[in-house]
C-alpha cells in the first residue's frame, strides 16, 4: 500500500482472538494490515477477521500528555516535527520534536508582580539545584562546568541520573567536546615529544646493546686465539730447553794425558764445536725472544679481559635500565586498558545492554574453522576460505572450563539477592554445548547448579541482617505449550499478561534450602523433558527449558522486602530443518522451535530499533521472557557454536544472532524492594 500525501490515513490495532496483534491502516475507505510474519508488506484486510477479533484506534493506548513517537521507517513527511541533521560520525540522524511535561524554575519579582524564569547564574545558588549539580559532579569528576551541567539538567527535567546517562552516551561526541586551547595542544605536543624521545632512547639503547654484544663476542674470540698461541709458544720453549740440556749431557769429556811424551789427539773437531756453540746461542736468543713475547702477550690479554669484563658490566647495567623503561611503558598501557574496560562496563550497566558471551564447543575430531585474535573477537573461516569477524563482551576458547564461565557471570547472578531480575539464555545449534553450559554433568555442573549454590551461600552470609526464602519452578515450552516439569503428569500451564509481567497460575514452586534439594529438583525436571534423536544429536532437546529461582528477602530491622527472580533458559537447537533431516513428529517439533526462536529474534530487532510495538505475543517463549526483556532486568546471552568447518554456516548464523542481541539496550535495571505490607507484580 502506498499512501498519497494528500489523503488522510487512519491507523488502528487489530487484536485477533488467537492473541496476535496487527497494525492496520484505513485509506480511501479500504482497510489494510501489515503482514510482519511472512511478506512484511501491507495486505488487504480479510472479511472473516471482523468476526474473529477487535479493532482499536491506535492512539487509545497513549498516556495523556505524551506524544506517540513514529518509527524511523514510518515517519510522516507532512509532520513538521520530523527533521534530520548530519552528524560527522553518525551520518544522517533523524530527529523528532516531542511535547513533554517539563519543570521550569521561576522566581517572583516583587517589582513587576510577575513570575519570571530563574537565570542560570541565580539557579546555581539554589540549595536543591546545588545538590543536584554536586551529585552530577561527584559521578563525573572530569565535567567541571557547573553551568553546562545545569543546562543539561534542565534538558533532562532535573533528573540527575538521566543527566549522567546522557553525558556518558554522548561523552565522546565531537560537537559536545569543549574547544581545544593552545594549552591543551601544547600538552599533547609535549606528550608526543616525550613518547618520541623515549622511543628514540629505546632504539639507541637497543643498538648499543647489540654493539656491546658483538664486541664481547670478538673479544672472547681474540682471547681464545691468544691463549692458544701462548700455549704453542710455551710448548716450543720447553722443547728447545730440553734439547739444549740433552746436547750438553751428550758432550764427551777431554781425556788426560798419561805421560808428557804422548801427543794429545782431540776427539771433537773445532768446526763441530763452533757449529754447536752457534746453535746454543741461537737457541738462547729464541728462548729470550719467546719469553719477551709471552710476557708482552700476557699483558695485552689481561687488558683485553679487563675491557671485556667492564663492557659486560656496562652492558648489564644498560640492559637493566632498558628493561625498567619497557616495564614502565607496559605497566602504563595495562593501566589505561584496564581503566577503559571498567568505563566500558559502567556504560554498559547504565545502558542496560544485553551482555553476550561466546563459547565454542571442544571437538578434537573436527576440522577447526575458528580463530581467536583476542578475548573479545572471534573469526570464522568457511569451506571456501571466506573469513568473518565478530565481537562480543567475552570470547572463550575451546579449552575454557565451567569455572571460567561461572566466574564471569557470578556478579550478575548474585545481584538477584539484592532484588534485581536476572536472565541468562543459551542459544545455538543442536550439539553446540548449550545444555552442557547450563546443566552440565554431576561431576562438572553448569551454571544452573553453581548459580543456586552461590545464591544459597550469599543468603547464608547475610542471614544476620536478612531472612531469605528460595523457591524453584521449572517449565518447558514444547510445541507452543507451557508444561510444568515438577508435576507427575507435566500439566499444561496458561500464561496471563499483566502489564510487563507474566502470571503463571498453578505453577509448582518447590522450596530450596540446600544444594541437594536443587539436585533432586533438577533430576525430576530433566526426567520429564522432551528429547529425541536427530542427525545433529542423539539426545537433542525438543523443547525450551526455563528454570526460575525466586529469592525473597526481608530486612530484620526495617521490614523491607526484596524480591529477585533468576531466569535460566536452555533454548532448543537452532538450525535449518533440512540439516537435521527431521520427519513426522520431529518435523512438527522443529517447526515450532524455529518459530519461537524467530519470534525471539523479532523481539530483539524491535527492541534494538525502539519500535512502539514489541511482538511478545507471537510465541510462548517471548511471552514468558517478557519480564526479563521489558526493561527491568539484567540479561546475559551465551551463544554456543561448533568449531567444525562443516557447520560454519550455522555458526555464522548463531554469531549474527548474538551480535544483533548485543545491540539491544534494555535500560538500567531496577531493584524490586517494597515496604513491609506492600505487594509485588505477579510472576
Question: What is the per-residue pLDDT across 537-546, written as a single tens digit (0 to 9) for each?
Answer: 434 567 899 9
Q: Rounded distance, CA 226 to CA 208, Å?
A: 27
Where does the pLDDT of residue 5 fall: very low under 50, low under 70, confident under 90, or very high at 90 and above? Answer: very low
Closest listed residue to residue 475, CA positions, set 565, 544, 379: 544
Asked if 673 and 562 touch (Cβ cutoff 8 Å), the reply is yes
Q: Rounded distance, CA 138 to CA 133, Å?
A: 9
Q: Please tell me the least confidently modeled range out of 269-273, 387-391, 675-679.
A: 675-679
Please tell me whether 434 is known to bind a ligand: yes
Q: Is 318 exposed, middle or buried (0-12, 13-18, 19+ CB in 10 A)?
A: middle
Q: What pLDDT sits at residue 654?
A: 93
Please tell me whether 431 is known to bind a ligand: yes
Asked if 320 and 327 touch (Cβ cutoff 8 Å), the reply is no
Task: Give me the mean pLDDT over the 450-457 stretch.
Answer: 91
Higher pLDDT pick, 466 / 254: 466
Instruction: DSSP letter for 70, please.
Output: P
Chain centroid offset of residue 659 CA = 12
Task: Give me the mean pLDDT over the 281-288 stretch.
Answer: 82
Please give the grid coordinates belonging to residue 261: 811424551
Please give the grid coordinates belonging to residue 653: 548464523
Q: Is the pLDDT of residue 430 over 90?
A: no
Please tell me whether 584 is known to bind a ligand: no
Q: Please tell me the least confidently modeled range out of 79-93, 141-155, 576-590.
A: 576-590
- Let me know the angle formed at the C-alpha of 670 by 665 and 671, rounded to the nearest 5 degrees: 155
Where does the pLDDT of residue 253 fall: very low under 50, low under 70, confident under 90, or very high at 90 and above? Answer: low
Asked if 627 and 500 touch (Cβ cutoff 8 Å), the reply is yes
Residues forming a β-bridge with 96 = 82
Query: What is 352-674's CATH topology?
Result: Kinesin (3.40.850)
Please state, as a whole number, how many other Cβ atoms lie within 10 Å of the Cβ of residue 141.
7
Q: Is 308 exposed, middle or buried (0-12, 13-18, 19+ CB in 10 A)?
A: middle
Map residue 115 onto helix, strand or coil.
strand
Task: Give me the mean pLDDT over the 275-291 stretch.
Answer: 82
Please give the grid coordinates belonging to residue 165: 546517562
Q: What is the tens place of the pLDDT at every residue in 258-272?
A: 555 555 555 667 777
Q: What pLDDT sits at residue 182?
A: 81
Strands 30-35 and 21-27: antiparallel
Please tell me whether 429 is known to bind a ligand: yes
Q: What pLDDT sits at residue 344?
A: 52
Rounded to two decimals, the pTM is 0.51
Where does the pLDDT of residue 61 fall: very low under 50, low under 70, confident under 90, or very high at 90 and above? Answer: very low
Radius of gyration of the chain (CA): 43
H or E element in which residue 422 lies: strand 421-428
Please give the grid coordinates belonging to residue 153: 539538567
Q: What is the tens place of the pLDDT at every residue in 143-191?
A: 888 999 999 998 888 899 888 888 887 766 666 566 667 887 888 888 8
Please tell me whether 186 is known to bind a ligand: no
Strands 421-428 and 466-478: unpaired
H or E element in which residue 634 lies: strand 633-641
* Cα atoms in the 13 Å half-sphere on the side-chain side of 52: 11
Task: Give me the mean pLDDT over the 351-364 stretch.
Answer: 84
Strands 561-570 and 673-674: antiparallel
Q: Rounded distance, CA 621 to CA 476, Å?
A: 9
Q: What pLDDT sits at residue 657?
A: 92
Instruction: DSSP letter for 668, please.
Output: -
Where does the pLDDT of residue 536 fall: very low under 50, low under 70, confident under 90, or very high at 90 and above? Answer: very low
Please tell me whether 428 is known to bind a ligand: yes
Asked if 579 and 535 touch (Cβ cutoff 8 Å), the reply is yes
Q: What is the tens place of the pLDDT at every residue in 454-482?
A: 999 999 998 888 899 999 999 999 888 99
Q: Is 523 exposed, middle or buried (0-12, 13-18, 19+ CB in 10 A)?
A: exposed
Q: Is the pLDDT of residue 208 over 80?
A: yes
> What one-character-per-residue DSSP string does 259-273 give?
STTSPP--SS-HHHH
Furthest-apart CA pair in the chain: how many Å? 175
Chain centroid offset of residue 63 CA = 39
Asked if 667 and 486 touch (Cβ cutoff 8 Å), the reply is no
What's the mean pLDDT when you consider all of the chain?
Answer: 80
Q: Rounded distance, CA 321 to CA 308, Å?
A: 20
Q: Is the pLDDT of residue 485 over 80?
A: yes
Q: What pLDDT sits at residue 3?
A: 45
Q: What is the tens place of the pLDDT at every residue in 601-627?
A: 999 898 888 888 889 888 999 999 888
H or E element in which residue 622 lies: helix 620-624
Q: Rounded distance, CA 615 to CA 663, Å?
A: 18
Task: Give me the mean pLDDT over the 226-240 stretch.
Answer: 80
Domain boundaries, the chain: 10-81, 106-169, 197-247+274-342, 352-674
Closest listed residue to residue 471, CA positions, set 553, 570, 407: 553
Residues forming a β-bridge with 107 = 116
Task: Give me the mean pLDDT over the 646-652 stretch.
Answer: 90
CA dihedral (532, 536, 537, 540) in degrees, to 10, reads: -40
Higher pLDDT pick, 533 / 97: 97
Task: Give me the mean pLDDT over the 329-339 stretch.
Answer: 72
Instruction: DSSP letter for 256, please.
Output: P
Where does the pLDDT of residue 254 fall: very low under 50, low under 70, confident under 90, or very high at 90 and above? Answer: low
Asked if 483 and 545 touch (Cβ cutoff 8 Å), the reply is no
Q: What pLDDT sits at residue 274?
A: 80
Closest listed residue to residue 600, CA positions, set 514, 658, 558: 658
H or E element in which residue 246 lies: helix 182-250
Q: What pLDDT sits at residue 539?
A: 47
Map residue 253 onto helix, strand or coil.
coil
Higher pLDDT pick, 25 / 588: 25
Residues forming a β-bridge with 11 = 25
Chain centroid offset of residue 159 CA = 31
Closest listed residue to residue 679, CA positions, set 563, 559, 511, 505: 563
Q: Rounded distance, CA 377 to CA 336, Å?
A: 20
CA dihedral (533, 538, 539, 540) in degrees, to 10, reads: -70
Amino acid at each position: 500500500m502506498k499512501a498519497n500525501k494528500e489523503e488522510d490515513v487512519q491507523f488502528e490495532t487489530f487484536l485477533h482472538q488467537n492473541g496476535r496483534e496487527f497494525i492496520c491502516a484505513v485509506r480511501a475507505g479500504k482497510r489494510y494490515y501489515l503482514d510482519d510474519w511472512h511478506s512484511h508488506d501491507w495486505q488487504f484486510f480479510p472479511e472473516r477477521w471482523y468476526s474473529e477479533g477487535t479493532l482499536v484506534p491506535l492512539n487509545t493506548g497513549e498516556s495523556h500528555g505524551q506524544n506517540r513517537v513514529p518509527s524511523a521507517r514510518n515517519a510522516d513527511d507532512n509532520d513538521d516535527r520530523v527533521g534530520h541533521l548530519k552528524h560527522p560520525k553518525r551520518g544522517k540522524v533523524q530527529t523528532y520534536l516531542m511535547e513533554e511535561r517539563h519543570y521550569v524554575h521561576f522566581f517572583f519579582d516583587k517589582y513587576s508582580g510577575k513570575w519570571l524564569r530563574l537565570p542560570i547564574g541565580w539557579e546555581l545558588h539554589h540549595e536543591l539545584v546545588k545538590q543536584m549539580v554536586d551529585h552530577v559532579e561527584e559521578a563525573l569528576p572530569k565535567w567541571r562546568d557547573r553551568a553546562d551541567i545545569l543546562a543539561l539538567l534542565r534538558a533532562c527535567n532535573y533528573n540527575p541520573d538521566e543527566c549522567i546517562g546522557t553525558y556518558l552516551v554522548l561523552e565522546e561526541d565531537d560537537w559536545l567536546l569543549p574547544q581545544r586551547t593552545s594549552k591543551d595542544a601544547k600538552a599533547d605536543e609535549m606528550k608526543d615529544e616525550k613518547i618520541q624521545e623515549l622511543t628514540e632512547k629505546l632504539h639507541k639503547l637497543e643498538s648499543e646493546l647489540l654493539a656491546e654484544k658483538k664486541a664481547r663476542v670478538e673479544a672472547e674470540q681474540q682471547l681464545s686465539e691468544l691463549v692458544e698461541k701462548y700455549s704453542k709458544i710455551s710448548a716450543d720453549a720447553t722443547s728447545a730447553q730440553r734439547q739444549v740440556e740433552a746436547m750438553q749431557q751428550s758432550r764427551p769429556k777431554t781425556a788426560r794425558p798419561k805421560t808428557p811424551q804422548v801427543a794429545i789427539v782431540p776427539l771433537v773437531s773445532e768446526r763441530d764445536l763452533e757449529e754447536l756453540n752457534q746453535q746454543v746461542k741461537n737457541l738462547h736468543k729464541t728462548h729470550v725472544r719467546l719469553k719477551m713475547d709471552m710476557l708482552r702477550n700476557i699483558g695485552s690479554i689481561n687488558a683485553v679481559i679487563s675491557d671485556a669484563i667492564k663492557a659486560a658490566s656496562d652492558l648489564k647495567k644498560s640492559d637493566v635500565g632498558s628493561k625498567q623503561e619497557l616495564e614502565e611503558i607496559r605497566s602504563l598501557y595495562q593501566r589505561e586498558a584496564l581503566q577503559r574496560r571498567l568505563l566500558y562496563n559502567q556504560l554498559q550497566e547504565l545502558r542496560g545492554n544485553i551482555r553476550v558471551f561466546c563459547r565454542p564447543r571442544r571437538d578434537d575430531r573436527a576440522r577447526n574453522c575458528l580463530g581467536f585474535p583476542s578475548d573479545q573477537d572471534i573469526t570464522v573461516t568457511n569451506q571456501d576460505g571466506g573469513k568473518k569477524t565478530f565481537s562480543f563482551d567475552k570470547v572463550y576458547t575451546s579449552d575454557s572450563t565451567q569455572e571460567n564461565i561461572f566466574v564471569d557471570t557470578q556478579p550478575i547472578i548474585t545481584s538477584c539477592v539484592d532484588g534485581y531480575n536476572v536472565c541468562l539464555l543459551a542459544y545455538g545449534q543442536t550439539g553446540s554445548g548449550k545444555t552442557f553450559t547450563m546443566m552440565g554433568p554431576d561431576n562438572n555442573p553448569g551454571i544452573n547448579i553453581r548459580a543456586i549454590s552461590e545464591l544459597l551461600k550469599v543468603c547464608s552470609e547475610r542471614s544476620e541482617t536478612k531472612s531469605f526464602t528460595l523457591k524453584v519452578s521449572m517449565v518447558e515450552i514444547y510445541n507452543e505449550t507451557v508444561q510444568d516439569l515438577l508435576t507427575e503428569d507435566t500439566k499444561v500451564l496458561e500464561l496471563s499478561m499483566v502489564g510487563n509481567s507474566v502470571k503463571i497460575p498453578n505453577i509448582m514452586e518447590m522450596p530450596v534450602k540446600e544444594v541437594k534439594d536443587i539436585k533432586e529438583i533438577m533430576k525430576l525436571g530433566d526426567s520429564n523433558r522432551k528429547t529425541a534423536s536427530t542427525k545433529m544429536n542423539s539426545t537433542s532437546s525438543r523443547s525450551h527449558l526455563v528454570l526460575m529461582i525466586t529469592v525473597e528477602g526481608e530486612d530484620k530491622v526495617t521490614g523491607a522486602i526484596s524480591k529477585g527472580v533468576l531466569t535460566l533458559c536452555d533454548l532448543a537447537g537452532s538450525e535449518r530443518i533440512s540439516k537435521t533431516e527431521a520427519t513426522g513428529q520431529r518435523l512438527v517439533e522443529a517447526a515450532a522451535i524455529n518459530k519461537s526462536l524467530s519470534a525471539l529474534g523479532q523481539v530483539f530487532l524491535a527492541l534494538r530499533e525502539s519500535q512502539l510495538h514489541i511482538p511478545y505475543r507471537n510465541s510462548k517463549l517471548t511471552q514468558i521472557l517478557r519480564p526479563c526483556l521489558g526493561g527491568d532486568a539484567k540479561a546475559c546471552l551465551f551463544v554456543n557454536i561448533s568449531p567444525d568447518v562443516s557447520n560454519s554456516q550455522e555458526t555464522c548464523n548463531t554469531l549474527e544472532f548474538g551480535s544483533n542481541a548485543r545491540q539491544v539496550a534494555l535500560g538500567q535495571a531496577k531493584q524490586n524492594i517494597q515496604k513491609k505490607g506492600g505487594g509485588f507484580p505477579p510472576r
